[in-house]
Amino acid sequence: MRRRMVWVMAGLMVACGLSAAAEKDDKPHNLPQFAFQYETRCHQTQAARLKALPQPASEVEKLQLEITDTDVCPCMARKIIEVTDQQLATRILNEDQDLESTFYQPAFQQCSVSVLRKVALPACKEDIAPATMKPAAIEAACKCYSDAVAKLDDGAIRDDAVAAYRNYQERAKDPSVKPYASKLETLKTDCIAKQKH
């Protein structure tokens, strides 16, 4: 799951941030307008990414983009509309680049939890090589894992995914960095181990 989770986080990052900002000649004057334009562009981005997937595309990749479209895009728009701090609202409308790390990424991380939950079962099945376990054992192990993920709260999933993604980035620069012991990875390993005994 570590590889898959990191891949999901890295892939979803494209859906996040100021890439969905408004065109200069159609600048919104309030947060609801800005959020509407943001969500529209987010949907357009997912549609373009879905179209651009190499064929045959992985079912998990397609599912990730579909869930991003149905869950993350509207969730990010809600995060924008819910801003009550006038100074922050002004910075959003002015497309302040510094908000990428202070506002958009934390909001995205919260919104992306639903994707991680929903891809847990299919991603698990795709990650296990068929030759290593019988189909029924893979099904049982992945259902065990999916059920365990369902019991975790959003904060635990988000924090684990972000920590795994940051560790991946650090290890890409310095391979001597110790691998992060992902909670989700441990859950999956435990579920697989039960089916192998």
Average pLDDT, the chain: 83
Q: For residues 4 and 46, is the Cβ–Cβ distance under 8 A? A: no
> In sequence order, what DSSP letters do the residues of 81-144 get, joined into one string?
HT---HHHHHHHHTT-TTHIIIIIHHHHHHHTHHHHHHTHHHHHHHHS-GGGS-HHHHHHHHHH
Q: Where are the chain's structural domains?
A: 17-111, 116-197
Q: What is the pLDDT of residue 144?
A: 95
Residue 135, pLDDT > 80, answer: yes
In eight-state DSSP terms, residue 159 is H
Least reliable range by pLDDT among 7-11, 50-54, 153-157, 185-189: 7-11
Residue 159, pLDDT > 60, answer: yes
d(CA 160, CA 106): 14
d(CA 124, CA 188): 8
Residue 13, pLDDT > 80, answer: no
Predicted structure pTM score: 0.73
Burial pattern 47-72, b for ≥16 Cβ within 10 A else e, equals eebbeeeeeeeeebbebbbebbbebb
Mean pLDDT confidence for 42-48? 88
User: In which band, very low, low, confident or very high, does the pLDDT at 19 lie, cut at 50, 70 and 90?
Assistant: very low
d(CA 141, CA 195): 6
